[in-house]
Chain A
Amino acid sequence: MKKSYKIDVDCPNCAARMEEVAKKTEGVIDAVVNFIALKMKVEFAEGVDEKEVMELVRRNCRKIDSDCEIFV
């Protein structure tokens, strides 16, 4: 299942790192961050609770950039 989320991030480098972090988060198969459109597209693994996974993604992203936001 794929879902698109609005995000807020300041620099493109941080966006790239958010993408890396999101990809490594458990329950996420693939993630793509579009810095210009400020969108994060996440493909979830079968049967996971997307809300929980996104909470984890946000926490992991905050570790690399404290300013970033994901609107779930």
Chain B
Amino acid sequence: MTRKQKKNLTRIVVAAIMTFSFHFLPLTGAPRFLCYLLPYLVVGYDVLLKAARGLRNGQPFDENLLMTVATLGAIALAVFSGSGDYDEAIAVMLFYQVGEWFQSCAVSRSRRSVSELMDICPDYANAETESGALERVDPSDVETGSVIVIKPGERVPIDGVVVSGESTLNLAALTGESTPRKVQSGDEIVSGSINQLGVLRVRTTKEFGESTASKILELIEDAGAKKSRSEAFITRFARVYTPIVVFAAIALALLPPVIMLAVDGAPAWRVWSYRALTFLVVSCPCALVVSVPLAFFAGIGGASRAGVLIKGSPVIEALAKTRTVVFDKTGTLTRGVFEVVAVHPDEFDETELLHLTAHVERYSPHPIAVALRAAYFRENDGCSVERVEELSGRGVRAVVNGHTVCAGNIKLMSESGAAPRACLDCHGAGVAIHVSEDGRYLGHVVVSDVVKTGAKDAIAALRRLGVKRTVMLTGDSERIAEIVAQELNLDEYHAELLPSGKVAKVEELLARENRGTETLAFVGDGINDAPVITRADVGIAMGAIGSAAAIEAADVVLMDDDPGKIAVAIRIARRCMRIVVENVWFTIGVKVLCLLLTATGLVGMWSAVFADVGVMILAVLNSARALSTRLSVV
């Protein structure tokens, strides 16, 4: 509780006790009026003051003025009728303040839980001075390229590369992934992760403000800048609602009595002014105005805990309506790294064939060569490799231990005079590297980009969420695309696309959906896909940890590269929208009901305030639900 909250609670309690005890005093007339005025002022003086100030500054329609008019009106009615029943006015003010108090508590609670989630930026760094001593400094003063030390248990303040030391890092606050990651010298580490075991010396590669943790924080705090359609609706609603109710209240006070006067001569002024005052009490749109943005904010906070950064409430709205998900293949659905998946020798054993192939590829930087060398890790042995020739579009030729060895496609085989064997097992999603020695066919090695574990489950999870179409776009060949699409059970694929072709395809797909009710999400790695990411309704960048460019371009940023997070993001967005819709209907519904019951005289001022305050508290509590991270498990 803040000091203000404590003070207001005291005022409420004091006023309540005073009012209650005055009931036992035999007070009448003016003394009674003065006595009851005391608790009224204790609990409501700030409201009266604010109302006066609002009037002076030409801002009439705010809840303070409404409360003031309603309660002063109730007091006036009590005085003129001679009933001396001031309880009503005090109770109304009391309930109003109780409501404000609860609202303030609920808001600061949610605020606290969100800021706990966002507590990923340490406020100091241990800078290493030239003499090797450690100095605790403000991380924003650390220059790029200087060395900082991160002790066990500390959070990494700035992105950098480990210079010395070995440890494990906990990235849970960034990715939602609880398995710690091993790091050693040479590894890049990102700010926001927690060092668990050993001391790490790190050379910073970015400034504090450009580091991952700062970027994430900035993004979450800026998320409120763009207003969603629901929020815009609420603002518009609040703007027209209050004046309408005020004029309706005036009409309610004047019209029925005048009509009655015209009909049978009994105007019942008092009854109608009382009802009109009650109208004013429930005219504040607070519940709506507080609960809707709170729900969005909590949703964004909860998602960030699961390693999903959502840039603003309009994105939540669009994400919740996703019906088409378009994927980039390499790096998104597949790991983007080649691996040897099969070795089919004709003469030697598998190791011998790999051995020879790796030698031929000794100097090539091509990803396939890297994969081949990785498969035969003792490549750097005593064998001599000479006269290496890269034959573009065909393969590599080299002289290994005096024999001419060719490794490449079928074209290269026929050139070298070898007859490649057609292999029935080799229609996997890979590239076959045929090998020949002095014109004799030796066999082939199949390398392939491997599908990520969990990619298939991710697609299935999307389908369960009602995503109608899953599409894969790739620059790779038709054959590879087909196999991956089949393996993952995708609805559509388009192969051999240039980057511009991907944009065109996404535009084509966008034209197919029902605008307004359905949206299209594109998932890519955020670096090569920037144009497509911007074009899609929802651009999702995956595996973006440490990549400021990706964080910049996308609407949704998945910190790790688990495709299952797409379904998680959609589920979080859907739940958030459900809470928003619940709150909008619930609060407007109860308001309208209150107004109707008040107009017909079925409900008094007390109950009207009670309903009003109750609705607000329930709406705020409902909004806070969006913070939960329960949905992060697929």
Chain A residues in the interface with B (C-beta under 8 A): 4, 10-13, 16-17, 32-39, 41, 63-67
Q: Bound state CA distance, A32 and B218, in angstroms?
A: 14
Additional pairs, 20, CB under 8 Å, beyond known A16-B238, A36-B293, A63-B57: A4-B221, A11-B103, A12-B289, A12-B293, A13-B63, A16-B289, A33-B224, A34-B222, A34-B223, A34-B224, A35-B224, A35-B293, A36-B107, A36-B297, A37-B297, A39-B221, A64-B59, A65-B50, A66-B50, A67-B50
Which 7 A-B residue pairings sit nearest by Cβ, starting from the closest?
A34-B224, A36-B297, A12-B290, A63-B57, A32-B225, A13-B289, A37-B221
Main secondary structure of the interface of A (DSSP, over half): mixed
Residues of chain B contacted by A33 (CB below 8 angstroms):
224
- Interface: B111 (CB within 8 A): yes
Q: Bound state CA distance, A67 and B100, in angstroms?
A: 14
Chain A residue with minimal CB distance to B226? A32
Q: How far is the CB of B467 from chain A (nearest CB, A)?
A: 30
Q: How far is the CB of B216 from chain A (nearest CB, A)?
A: 13
Neighbour of B286 across the interface among A4, A11, A34, A63, CB < 8 A: A11
Residues of chain A contacted by B289 (CB below 8 angstroms):
11-13, 16
- Interface: B53 (CB within 8 A): yes
9 A–B contacts from the bound complex (CB under 8 Å): A11-B290, A12-B293, A17-B59, A32-B222, A36-B114, A37-B114, A37-B297, A65-B50, A67-B50
Give the B interface residue count (CB, 8 A).
31
Q: How far is the CB of A24 from chain B (nearest CB, A)?
A: 13
Q: Mark B423-446, 1 if CB is under 8 A from A, else 0.
A: 000000000000000000000000
Q: Bound state CA distance, A40 and B192, in angstroms?
A: 24
Residues of chain B contacted by A32 (CB below 8 angstroms):
222, 224-225
Q: Bound state CA distance, A16 and B225, in angstroms?
A: 12
Neighbour of A41 across the interface among B50, B114, B222, CB < 8 A: B222
Neighbour of B294 across the interface among A16, A36, A65, CB < 8 A: A36
Residues of chain B contacted by A12 (CB below 8 angstroms):
107, 286, 289-290, 293-294
Residues of chain A contacted by B225 (CB below 8 angstroms):
32, 34, 41
Q: Mark B295-326, 1 if CB is under 8 A from A, else 0.
A: 00100000000000000000000000000000
Residues of chain A contacted by B235 (CB below 8 angstroms):
16
Neighbour of A63 across the interface among B59, B114, B115, B290, CB < 8 A: B59
Q: How far is the CB of B614 from chain A (nearest CB, A)?
A: 17
Q: Mark B279-294, 1 if CB is under 8 A from A, else 0.
A: 0000001100110011
